[in-house]
Amino acid sequence: MTEYTKEVLCSLDALEDPGSLGFYLESDQGPREIFLVRKGSRVFAYQNSCPHTGVNLEWQANQFLDLGGSFIQCANHGALFRIEDGYCLRGPCAGESLQPVCVVVEREEVVFYPAPHR
C-alpha cells in the first residue's frame, strides 16, 4: 500500500475568511510556491503562477485577493480568477485557469500531500 507523506501548512483559523496565505514548499519534485484561499469552511490551493506570464500573482506577501475578497487577482495585469476553480474571468489570460494543488482540511488544519511515500 502506498503511504503519503503530509505537510501541515497552517491551522484553518490562520486563514481569514476570505483570506489567503502563500507557501514555499520543498518536495521530491523540487521547490514550489503555492497559495491557499479560504472561502467559508472551504480552502482552495493553487500554484503561485499566472497562466499569462508565469510570474507570481501577489503584489504583497499573502495578498492574492482583490480588495473585496471576491476574486484571486494577478498583481501584474489585474486578471481576476474565481476562487472556487481558478478560472480566469477577466484579463489577458481570460478562459485559462490557475493550476490547482491538492490540500485537505483535517482536524481544523490545512494539509498538503506532496508525494507518495513508499
- Domain positions in the chain are 17-101
Prediction pTM value: 0.90
**pLDDT band at residue 1 using 50, 70 and 90 as cut-offs:** low
Predicted local distance difference test score (pLDDT) of residue 113: 80
Asked if 93 and 100 touch (Cβ cutoff 8 Å), the reply is no
Say which range, 81-85, 90-94, 114-118, has the weakest mean pLDDT. 114-118
What is the CATH number assigned to the segment(s) 17-101? 2.102.10.10
Per residue in 100-111, pLDDT (tens digit) is: 999 999 999 999
Cell of residue 51, nine digits: 497562466
| pLDDT of 83 over the 70 cut | yes
Predicted local distance difference test score (pLDDT) of residue 118: 41
Per residue in 14-64, pLDDT (tens digit) is: 999 999 999 999 877 788 999 999 999 899 999 999 999 999 999 899 999
Strand ranges in 5-115 using DSSP code E only, listed in sequence order:
7-11, 19-25, 32-39, 42-47, 71-73, 80-82, 88-90, 103-106, 109-112
Secondary structure of residue 13 in the 3-state scheme? helix
Predicted local distance difference test score (pLDDT) of residue 22: 97
Predicted local distance difference test score (pLDDT) of residue 111: 95
Q: What is the spatial order of strands in the sheet that 103-106 belongs to?
A: 7-11, 109-112, 103-106
Q: What is the spatial order of strands in the sheet that 42-47 belongs to?
A: 19-25, 32-39, 42-47
Cell of residue 95, nine digits: 478562459
